[in-house]
Amino acid sequence: MKRTATAVWNGSGKEGNGHLTSQSTTLNKTQYSYKSRFEEGVGTNPEELIAAAHAGCFAMKLSFVLGGAGFTPDSLDVTSTVTLDNGAITNSHLVLKASVPGISAEKFKECADDAKANCPVSKVLNAEITLEASLV
């Protein structure tokens, strides 16, 4: 399986702007700029997209891990906060709030740690990955 996305950038780094389009067109000429990346401008940015990818990947992987252990989650609510520091992504902090009927706290932690280590986005990130996991 391969997926593609295209970035088009016009102008200088600070004054220019661009847009992103994904293969599925979920992103379709979605704007991004210096302001949307480093200030509070309209549009998206690479770090926000990595955070979304990590949260989504982790949630799906955890669902598979839980299923393999005999549990079906009612809900997995995941937030990823990606930190950009001195030009490098240094951390992705995952916060998980899960409703998983019948699971013990110990088994839940084991499954969450497995998903954290083994979701494809975690494997590609060259950054510290931290996790706060709670059953709700």
CATH number for 65 = 3.30.300.20
Residues 34 and 52 in one domain: no
Alpha-carbon span 27 to 40, nearest angstrom = 19
Average of per-residue pLDDT across 58-76: 98
Mean confidence (pLDDT) of the chain: 97
Cross-strand pairs, 54? none
Run of H or E residues at 82: strand 75-85
For residue 42, what are the CA distances in angstroms to 13, 38, 114?
16, 11, 36
Residues 56 and 17 in one domain: no
Note the pLDDT of residue 72.
Answer: 98
Residues 30 and 74 in one domain: no
Average of per-residue pLDDT across 104-112: 98
Residues 55 and 82 in one domain: yes
Note the pTM of the prediction, 2 decimals. 0.94
Note the pLDDT of residue 105.
Answer: 97
Task: Quote the percentage of the chain above a pLDDT of 90.
Answer: 99
Note the pLDDT of residue 90.
Answer: 96
How many structural domains compose the chain? 2
pLDDT digits (tens, 9 = 90+) for 80-93: 999 999 999 999 99
Residues 54 and 32 in one domain: no
Alpha-carbon span 133 to 95, nearest angstrom = 6
> Residue 27 sits in which domain range?
5-38
